[in-house]
Amino acid sequence: MDNKEVRLLKMAEIAKMLGLGHSTFTKKIYNEDIEKIYVNNKVFIPSTELSKIKSIVKFNEEFLTGEYISTSEAKNYFQSHFIDIKRTDISNWIRVGKVKTILHMGYRYIKKQDLLELVTKIVDERTIPDGYCSVNEAAEYSNNSEATIKIWAMNQDIQSKLIIQEGYKRIFIKKMSY
């Protein structure tokens, strides 16, 4: 097809191209300044209007690479790896820059490769490394109070690691560092 040739496209055809339902697409462009051609009570849009339509619906061409998943799909991916998270956790990670996203038609999408790296980080954040014990155990072993052990950990006087367990951040202490 010659690039200068203008095709008339059905609304449903454009909606499908963009991955939208027909009625959602119609609502998004209803009041927009888009050339429409009416033939026998059917609406057609010239192919020259596609770039304007993509701009209106905030269509991101990068999304077409197939390398992105929704935050809901990301949550399901974590749960399939036995990591209990909420969608709000993902939103917070996005907000603080732990994971990069693209905006596509008003929704955030995460690159699959970034998600795999994030899973590794999250598993590391939630796994107690070998040779570490709880603050309580460290207090018992060293004959100090739990408060003293926590202060030493916060001041980095002893080796410690913050681990997320059951939604809470807990301090674990490297054995023999106290």
Residue 64: per-residue pLDDT: 82
How many domains, in total, are found in the chain? 3
Phi-psi region of 141 (alpha: psi -120 to 50; beta: other; left: phi over 0): alpha
Residues 72 and 51 in one domain: no
Full domain range(s) for residue 154 = 132-174
Residues 138 and 119 in one domain: no
Cα distances (angstroms) measured from residue 68 to each of 87, 102, 110, 112, 155: 16, 8, 5, 5, 41
Q: Name residues of the chain where pLDDT drops below 70.
A: 1-3
Residue 58: per-residue pLDDT: 92
Q: How far apart are CA 69 and CA 87, in angstroms?
A: 13
Residue 3: per-residue pLDDT: 57
Residue 35: per-residue pLDDT: 93
Q: Rounded to two decimals, what is the model's pTM?
A: 0.60
Residues 116 and 76 in one domain: yes
Is residue 1 in a domain? Answer: no
